[in-house]
Chain A
Amino acid sequence: MGRPALLLLALCAAGARGLYFHIGETEKRCFIEEIPDETMVIGNYRTQMWDKQKEVFLPSTPGLGMHVEVKDPEGKVVLSRQYGSDGRFTFTSHTPGDHQICLHSNSTRMALFAGGRLRVHLDIQVGEHANNYPEIAAKDKLTELQLRARQLLDQVEQIQKEQDYQRYREERFRLTSESTNQRVLWWSIAQTVILILTGIWQMRHLKSFFEAKKLV
């Protein structure tokens, strides 16, 4: 009984869970995820605080919180929550496009540590990568082959969603290009017309001016 518990603890404490970066005290870091609609995004983060005396990053920081804010492509806030020093946030997109995930620490305690830096380990999984296969296998009691087939089905579903999104984006791109084309056309015509009218006005105005001056 003791050994599995120790193994679990070891895995929990075992260094970086993937990528990490440093963030300032009041600094806000934003990441963009361009995703099709009805896609689930799971983000895991872990924070470590710099200890000036020991010159090392402390393994966990109680009392330190991170504020996570997620905005959809229209700028509407989808998720805005405060989490602890270790957190996990999930959201599902309802509109396709660029979703912005912003993280900033809320800690005021760090004001005591001059030049305080926070190490943030971040892992964002999108769509099919967010699926937890051992959990699915345990819940639905799938054999290995069935689980492989399920993974393939999930991948294909993600590809289909991405293709639908691609069609939607291409339509937007086409509308932008056509609008630019229309604008160039009409403004060129308008400018030529204005040029000609201005020229005519100039000639007539000057002619009447010189006639009034008895020079013509």
Chain B
Amino acid sequence: MGRAGSHPASARLLLLLVLLRAERLPGAELTFELPDSAKQCFHEDVERGARFSLDYQVITGGHYDVDCYVEDPLGNTIYRETKKQYDSFTHQAEVKGVYQFCFSNEFSTFSHKTVYFDFQVGDEPPILPDMGNRVTALTQMESACVTIHEALKTVIDSQTHYRLREAQDRARAEDLSSRVSCWSVGEVIALLVVSFSQVLLLKAFFTEKRASPQALHS
């Protein structure tokens, strides 16, 4: 920032504001609810040559599956899968433009699904924009920091995957618990109804035939 001295203070402030806005990694990690027989699409602007990846997983709902497809700006389908529970897809963008990825639950008539997706474009930008244009090599301390940062990112990613799987298992367990309750109560009622009707039916048979045995014996 040695050149900053030659700029007026207001320009420096503007530059700082520019830097503050310009450090977000493009892409998103979102969890949304997909109603039954619905399709939801998301769009992202990708530069030519950038590598993007899409990870998605169904967390709750039905058979935990969803249809997914990805389209490039020219309308070609570059990825299409049906009834997948989770998948990961990476692609090198050949065309600059808006890429679209859609999740479809149109095959299901009554189960709405919760879908998680993580769409990342390109590499992570440096935390200070200056770091990107270094002319010297990194010191040992800095390389150690970079290594630790990458390792921690892997840890956070695997924590996210565990969290999603746990959410899925917990949803199934709670579903099972409520189904066991309902079915147990239902079965007791069915049991009582069947035994009472058996007795009543049997009594009804013998009440009708009552006349004939008495007639024979009298």
**Which residues of A line the B interface, CB within 8 A?**
1, 4-5, 7-8, 11-12, 15-22, 29-34, 122-126, 132-135, 137-138, 144-145, 147-149, 151-152, 155-156, 158-159, 162-163, 165-166, 169-170, 172-173, 176-177, 179-180, 183-184, 187, 190-191, 194-195, 198-199, 201-202, 205-206, 209-210, 213, 215
Q: Are B127 and A151 in contact (CB under 8 A)?
A: yes
Question: Which of B62-70, B77-85, B155-163 lines the interface with chain A?
Answer: B155-163
Contact of A144 among B119, B131, B152, B170 (CB under 8 A): B131
Contact of A34 among B16, B31, B206 (CB under 8 A): B31
Q: B27 at interface (Cβ–Cβ under 8 A)?
A: yes
Quote the shortest CB–CB distance from B112 to chain A (angstroms): 11
A146–B190 Cα distance when bound, in Å, is 70
Q: List 6 A-B contacts (CB under 8 A).
A: A11-B21, A16-B45, A19-B44, A20-B44, A144-B142, A148-B127
Q: Are A11 and B22 in contact (CB under 8 A)?
A: yes
Contact A134-B206, Cβ < 8 Å, known A155-B149, A155-B156, A183-B181 = no
Q: Are B206 and A5 in contact (CB under 8 A)?
A: no
Q: Are A159 and B167 in contact (CB under 8 A)?
A: no
Which A residues lie within 8 Å of B163 (CB)? Answer: 34, 162, 165-166, 169
Quote the shortest CB–CB distance from A152 to chain B (angstroms): 6
Q: Are A133 and B127 in contact (CB under 8 A)?
A: yes
Chain A interface mostly: helix
Q: Are A198 and B191 in contact (CB under 8 A)?
A: yes
Contact A166-B159, Cβ < 8 Å, known A21-B41, A133-B127, A194-B191 = yes
A191–B187 Cα distance when bound, in Å, is 8
Which B residues lie within 8 Å of A1 (CB)? Answer: 8, 10-11
Closest residue on chain B to residue A179 by CB atoms: B177
Q: Are B159 and A19 in contact (CB under 8 A)?
A: no
Quote the shortest CB–CB distance from A65 to chain B (angstroms): 22
Q: B50 at interface (Cβ–Cβ under 8 A)?
A: no
Quote the shortest CB–CB distance from A137 to chain B (angstroms): 6
Quote the shortest CB–CB distance from A109 to chain B (angstroms): 24
A17–B7 Cα distance when bound, in Å, is 28
Which B residues lie within 8 Å of A122 (CB)? Answer: 28, 30
Contact A18-B26, Cβ < 8 Å, known A4-B15, A8-B14, A29-B32 = yes
Which B residues lie within 8 Å of A152 (CB)? Answer: 145, 148-149, 152
Quote the shortest CB–CB distance from B189 to chain A (angstroms): 10
A210–B208 Cα distance when bound, in Å, is 14
A16–B46 Cα distance when bound, in Å, is 10
Q: B24 at interface (Cβ–Cβ under 8 A)?
A: yes
Q: Are B170 and A172 in contact (CB under 8 A)?
A: yes
Q: B95 at interface (Cβ–Cβ under 8 A)?
A: no
